[in-house]
Amino acid sequence: MRVLGVAIRAEPKVFTVSVLGSALYAAMTVATATVLGRVTEEVVLPAFRTGDTTAGALAGAAVAIVGVALFKALGVAARRFYAGLMQYRMQARYRRAVTRQYLRLPLAWHHRHPTGQLLSNANADVEAAWAPLAPLPMAVGVVFMLLIAAVSIVLTDLTVAVVGFLVFPAIALLNVVYQRRLAPVATRAQQLRAEVSEVAHESFEGGLVVKTLGREQAETERFAERADALRDANVAVGRVRGLFDPILEALPNLGVLAVLLIGSVRLEAGAMTAGDLVNVAYLFTLLAWPIRALGWVLAEVPRSVVGWTRVRSVLDATGDLPYGPHSLDGAGRAAELEVRELRFAYESDDESGDESDDGSKRHVLHDVSFAARPGQTIAVVGPTGSGKSTLTSLLVRLVDPADGSVLLDGMDVRDIRQGGVAETAALVPQQTFLFDDTVRGNVVLNLDVPDERVWEALRLAQADGFVAALADGLDTKVGERGATLSGGQRQRLALARALVRRPRLLILDDATSSVDPQVEARILNGLREAQQSEDGPGATVVVVAYRKATISLADEVVYIEHGRVLDRGSHSELLRRSEGYRNLVNAYERAEEEHEALESGDDERQDGEREDSDIKGSDIEGSEEALT
């Protein structure tokens, strides 16, 4: 009732009109029985007794029957239209509410909730929550109909009414048993819908891994296991409905038979007329179907409550990022960045809030501090798992720290209005995501900028060459997730997407790892030239880097290990005084050199094999010279 009350309070006018339509239908249903009783008594039976009737009598009967039918049809139309309108409005409203909540909730909350579950919350759960709204006005009208019919039947013949009314408590009792049997299996089915969605989404997202590692059969079996469980749960729901539905259908019909039986006896005794019997019997016949509307509402209630509970768990989730009233006003110049004693921990299972070291959180950053002057380039270097990507998320306020602060132009990012950080800072993450759209669409993302600015961003990202070579240039479709492009091309488009916004703070989280070193050097040199140019889109740059060539271009290097800043300074200074830093960057450099040596060795071996083949196939004298 609380769930239905939410919908009624949200759409009071629509609900009122639909209920009025249902009440009109109910009244006309009872009126139909009354009209048929009067027509039987005053037109049909006299015609049988005398052997003839008049055109006026037949016309009057027809007008009465058709008139009642038209009003009844009007009530049906109003009830169905406005009930559907109410249901779809509530579904749309709560889909939007859930989606807005997803956008408000921080990344830390999303880390704990699978994407498939979120899709299920926004779709299947919302639909289930408001499924009872379609039959609800009918059920309310049925109550009105029962009251009118009960009064009419009692006034017609009390004995027949008592016999017929025995059906109603039997139906009510059966419905209670029905709901208690249906609720647990419906809850299980709703949960399994979300699980099937989760498995399917994960398999599609990891399609490349599934294909390359030959996991098709394993993924098929994993999906089949959940799908079979969902099938069994739905079958269990069907079994319960299959058991109770026929009984619920039969009870009103048994009531009609009982009324006809007792009514015939009363008719023979002269206690009631044939018209009264037709009236009462027809009323019970008509009530048999509307009474089922109560059952339909009750049948949807378990799924509705489960869906509503799951939707509310999203809407009531805490942790959304609060915003301040201030704006950043530094257009045309690079931003000043300061990081003060940042601490951050990922929560495991609960959303317990701000307690630290409670066993449910894993700290990844500890008192991280550094600063970047406007136009400066900072390289963040550290081994895998040292917290570099988490740091980049904090810089653009995807999440908030447990302690400490991030300041842009001297202002804490938590005091900046919503959207202010995104207007100032741009992050190019490790994992590149492209939409199934054109090159232009992926770069501008609905930003209203001229093509000249798009090409400027592409040139800075060293992507203008391959984009110009595409069949349709900027209008070339790149496919889902940029499937038609290489990894390096996707990364350069993602970089252009950030640059086209001319950010004052640019954060590159290993954003050029799939780009060869020569292209990466040209990208970074282009960014440095833009920083130094008075007309260019200057920006303060924070880059998570591994390559020596990249690190050496930075004004300052921040060396992080185990979530702590172990040292800061220039690349050459850290090489001299930090053994851990020296070992790390040298290890990366050796790995790159070995990779390049393997590639060049393959090329030399192929060249040697071709030369050998040429020598063996010739008749040149002095083979030693030829070999030399």
For residue 588, what pLDDT is reported?
66
For residue 512, what pLDDT is reported?
66
* Residue keyed to tokens 């809850």: 187
* Helix (H/G/I), strand (E/B), else coil: 594: helix
Phi-psi group of 192: left, alpha or beta (phi > 0 → left; psi -120 to 50 → alpha; rest → beta): alpha
Question: Is residue 627 over pLDDT 50?
Answer: no
> Domain 2-315 adopts which CATH fold?
ABC transporter transmembrane region fold (1.20.1560)
Question: Is residue 354 over pLDDT 50?
Answer: no
To which H or E segment does residue 487 belong?
Answer: helix 487-499
Would you say the CATH fold of 375-400+409-566 matches that of 2-315? no
Strand order from edge to edge, sheet including 337-347: 361-372, 337-347, 403-408, 411-412
For residue 198, what pLDDT is reported?
79
Question: Is residue 330 over pLDDT 80?
Answer: no
Question: Is residue 577 over pLDDT 70?
Answer: yes
Instruction: Decide: 463 and 496 in contact? Cβ < 8 Å.
Output: yes
* Residue keyed to tokens 């690349």: 571
Highest mean pLDDT pick, 147-161, 201-215, 546-560, 578-592: 546-560
For residue 591, what pLDDT is reported?
60
Helices 216-268 + 274-315 axis angle, to 10: 150
Q: What is the mean pLDDT of residues 554-559?
A: 86
Query: In which band, very low, low, confident or very high, does the pLDDT at 517 lie, cut at 50, 70 and 90?
Result: low
Average pLDDT over the chain, rounded to an integer: 77
Least confident span in 144-158, 426-440, 566-580: 144-158
Query: In which band, very low, low, confident or very high, does the pLDDT at 460 lie, cut at 50, 70 and 90?
Result: confident
Domain 375-400+409-566 belongs to what architecture?
Answer: 3-Layer(aba) Sandwich (3.40)
**pLDDT tens figures, 276-298:** 777 777 777 666 666 666 666 76
Strand partners, 507: 427, 542
Query: In which band, very low, low, confident or very high, does the pLDDT at 593 lie, cut at 50, 70 and 90?
Result: low
Q: What is the mean pLDDT of residues 368-383?
A: 86
DSSP 471: T
DSSP 415: G
Domain spans in the chain, listed from the N-terminal domain onward: 2-315, 375-400+409-566
For residue 620, what pLDDT is reported?
32
How far is the CA of 52 from the CAs of 44, 45, 59, 299, in angstroms? 10, 10, 14, 51
Rg (CA), the chain: 38
Burial of 5 from C-beta contacts in 10 A (0-12 / 13-18 / 19+): exposed
For residue 609, what pLDDT is reported?
46
**pLDDT tens figures, 62-100:** 888 888 889 989 988 988 899 889 889 998 999 999 988
For residue 592, what pLDDT is reported?
59
To which H or E segment does residue 47 belong?
Answer: helix 45-50
Amino acid found at 230? L
Least confident span in 62-76, 80-94, 153-167, 217-231: 153-167
For residue 618, what pLDDT is reported?
38
Least confident span in 274-283, 499-508, 540-549: 274-283
For residue 503, what pLDDT is reported?
82
For residue 513, what pLDDT is reported?
64
Q: What is the mean pLDDT of residues 169-190?
A: 77
pTM score above 0.85: no
Handedness of CA 103, 108, 113, 115 (dihedral sign): positive
470 versus 299: which is more confidently predicted?
A: 470
Instruction: Decide: 85 and 16 in contact? Cβ < 8 Å.
Output: no
Amino acid found at 239? R
Q: What is the mean pLDDT of residues 414-422?
A: 83
Question: Is residue 351 over pLDDT 50?
Answer: no
The angle subtended at Cα 610 by Cα 608 and Cα 615, nearest 5°, is 90
Q: Tell me how long the chain is.
A: 628
**pLDDT tens figures, 36-61:** 778 887 888 888 878 777 778 888 88
In the numeric block, which tokens belong to residue 101? 């909540």
Least confident span in 31-35, 151-155, 402-406, 591-595: 591-595
Question: Is residue 507 over pLDDT 80?
Answer: yes
**Phi and psi dihedrals of 452, rounded to 5?**
-60, -40
**pLDDT tens figures, 462-486:** 788 888 888 888 888 877 777 778 7
Q: What is the mean pLDDT of residues 169-185?
A: 76
